[in-house]
Amino acid sequence: MPAKRFLLTALIVLLAATSCDQDDAPLGPDSFDPNAAAAAAATITPDDMYQLIEHLASDQMAGRDTPSPGLEAATQYVAGKFAELGLLPGATSFIQRYPIDVEVLDAETGQTAIVSAGAPNVVAILPGSHPVLRDTYVIFSAHIDHLGVGTADATGDSIYNGADDDASGTAALIEVAEAFASLETAPSRSLIFLAVSGEEKGLLGSRHYADHPTVPIELIVADVNADMISRNSPDSIAVIGQEYSSLGSLIRSVAANHPEVRLVVTGDLWPEERLFFRSDHFNFVRNGIPALWFFAGTHGDYHELSDEVDTIDADKAARVARLIFFTIYSIANTADAPVWTDTDFEL
């Protein structure tokens, strides 16, 4: 998540998600299958999570600053994984680019200049299986960018590898996509796997996606976001946003139905931080789309050079990813779209 608190004073009245006629259509006979879901979730392993986080947080990605060659390499890597899984490109390709201004230092004159550049999001689609509900979408988002390169510490390390923040969420994106791609029958609703950049610069990539969605935004029924899921207590995970929509009772019921993931789902442990408004799901919330953020909490390595792969709990990260899989599976196989239960908040 970004360090700076958003100070947005505009009060935006959210429209309750309107239930559309198509929600009344019956689900396909085979779209919800607990045994198939369990087998798919089992493809998400600690080893796979560790290897993905290790690669995304390796020095060759140079901290995945927005924009940077390291970020481009990371997004190409994720796009390649989505292609291997047989997912469809969410835009004209798997990459959605957006404009960003960057400050460039002229080495000869010592002057800085603002030049416009581009930065990538990665967007992939798994089409749903229901003849009507497949025209609605559940988004799984995670940010792929981090803080880039800074001043070297005493050991000579200058790369902000961002293993927990948010290589862990990006790895979950790939692993959950793989689990869904392994299903013989896709869920009823279509799924969008979205790796956004520019989060650390102020949620830029998710803002661009929400302002330029690759599907009509009114057809997006929920956003599930993963940002920092691999640290702290091995047996609990905070899921932020439960109090605002029907996704709250949904995640609590999913967690109760899956004791094998060995995770106690807590609510927002840090209400004074206004976390519901501080990661990429915010850009869906402000467009009226109910959202949840899976967040394992902050720690001493947060936004430090020491947020490295050897500090992560890959077993926990895999179990969180499995819980996310079951959560999205449930949203995507429920005929009624999630609805807001409390919109009495200021964005």
Judged by CB, which is closer to Zn ion: 38, or 269? 269
| CB closer to Zn ion out of 166 and 268 | 166
CB-nearer residue toward Zn ion: 137 or 293: 293
- Inter-residue contact 160 to 151 (CB < 8 Å): no
CB of 112 to Zn ion, least distance (A): 27
Residue with Cβ nearer Zn ion (1 or 292): 1
To the nearest whole angstrom, how small is the minimum distance from the Cβ of residue 196 to Zn ion? 10
Which burial class, exposed, middle or buried, applies to 72 when counting CB atoms under 10 A from its CB (0-12, 13-18, 19+)? Answer: middle
CB closer to Zn ion out of 227 and 268:
227
Tokens of 245: 């929509």
Distances (CA, A) of 126 to 136, 287, 338: 12, 23, 20
Rounded Cα distance between 333 and 230, Å, is 27
Q: How far is the CB of 146 from Zn ion (least distance, A)?
A: 8
Give the footprint of Zn ion on this chain (CB under 5 A).
Answer: 1, 165-166, 227
Nearer to Zn ion, 40 or 147 (CB): 147
d(CA 35, CA 20): 30
Q: Of the two residues 225 and 333, which places its CB atom closer to Zn ion in the complex?
A: 225
Please, what is the minimum distance in Å from the beta carbon of residue 227 to Zn ion?
4
For the bound state, the minimum distance from the C-beta of residue 197 to Zn ion, rounded and expressed in Å, comes to 11
Looking at the Cβ atoms of 48 and 199, the one nearer to Zn ion is 199
In whole angstroms, the minimum distance from the beta carbon of 170 to Zn ion comes to 10
**To the nearest whole angstrom, how small is the minimum distance from the Cβ of residue 123 to Zn ion?**
19
Q: Least distance (Å) from Zn ion to the CB of residue 199?
A: 6
